[in-house]
Amino acid sequence: MSNVEKIYFSPSSTTKKVVEEISNNFNEKKEIFDLLNFNSEKVFASDDIAIVGMPVFAGRIPKTARKRLEKIKGDNTPAIAVVNYGNAHVSDALLELVDLLKENNFNVIAAASTVSHHSIFSGVAQGRPDSSDIEKINEFAQKCIEKIESGESLTSEIPGNRPYTDYKQLPFVVSCDDMACAFCYDCVSICPENAIPDDDPVDTDLDLCSRCTACIHICPEDARMFTGDAFEAKKPEFEKANSERKDPEFYL
């Protein structure tokens, strides 16, 4: 019996939410591969269905997520490619994801770019995905099911450029309020870059940190946050520039 394979890298849980919404339309047994902690080789069967969700980091899928996804292969396995972004720019991320899945022997049957509350700048895309987004995502999922049943592949052209835009490292500081920190070590466990020392969860190695926000969103005490002059200067400018609503886009 085929499985629906939910594969995602979701530091702030918004990409996970979109993948879950799509998967709820399928009746097959579900399996989860959370690339924040799954870093092993895996090959899926030809009758499985893969739903692969990635956040957009400055126009690309995250470098660490890409490396982990490169280890996951298909056997002409039907795949739905989804990138989730904070109402700013998709750039080359969806094209990159579709290309990588095809290279890994997945049969990409559909693709989408969806919008969620921005993980860094809280004033952008608040409340997204909202009811309108969810309705469109579910309509897309039903069309994906029809395509899988008919044996069709993706025919739409995916926007983006090759070579992809260069990776960019954000200059923002991730800090921890040592008075608020409960030393639960959740941030240490979840960090995909091993940027938070086992013996000092208040510290962050900013040379290793990808600013993915996983540690910020998992902290039960809200002790971790973006700080610094660069972040404070960019926040109002970015939120103003990306205030106009963007809608999800679907490719079949």
Q: What is the pLDDT of residue 1?
A: 57
Question: What is the DSSP secondary-structure string of the chain?
Answer: --EEEEEE--TTSHHHHHHHHHHTT--SEEEEEETTT--S-EE--TT-EEEEEEE-BTTB--HHHHHHHTTEE-SSEEEEEEEEE-SS--TTHHHHHHHHHHHTTEEEEEEEEEE---SS-TTSSTT-S-HHHHHHHHHHHHHHHHHHHHT----SPPP--SSPPPP----PEEEE-TTT-----HHHHH-TT--S-TT-TT---TTT-----HHHHH-TT--EEEESHHHHHHHHHHHHHT-S----EEE-
The answer on 149 and 83 residing in a single domain is yes
Note whether 131 and 191 are same-domain residues.
Answer: no
131 & 211 share domain: no
- 131 and 200 part of one domain: no
Residue 236 lies in a domain: no
Q: Answer yes or no: is 91 within a domain.
A: yes
pLDDT of residue 47: 96
Q: Do the domain assignments include residue 233?
A: no
**Residue 65 maps to which CATH number?**
3.40.50.360
Domain match, 191 and 95 both: no
Tell me, what amino acid is at 213? T
Do 24 and 130 share a structural domain?
yes
Same domain membership, residue 150 and residue 198: no
Count of domains in the chain? 2
- pLDDT truncated to tens, each residue of the chain (252 aa)? 589 999 999 999 999 999 999 999 999 999 999 999 999 999 999 999 999 999 999 999 999 999 999 999 999 999 999 999 999 999 999 999 999 999 999 999 999 999 999 999 999 999 999 999 999 999 999 999 999 999 999 999 999 999 999 998 899 999 999 999 999 999 999 999 999 999 999 999 999 999 999 999 999 999 999 999 999 999 999 999 999 999 999 999
Residues 21 and 123 in one domain: yes
116 shares a domain with 202: no
189 and 154 in one domain? no
Q: Residue 201 is part of a domain; what is its CATH number?
A: 3.30.70.20
Q: What is the extent of the structural domain holding 208? A: 173-227
> Are residues 81 and 156 part of one domain?
yes
Q: Are both 107 and 186 inside the same structural domain?
A: no
Instruction: Tell me whether residue 136 is in a domain.
Output: yes
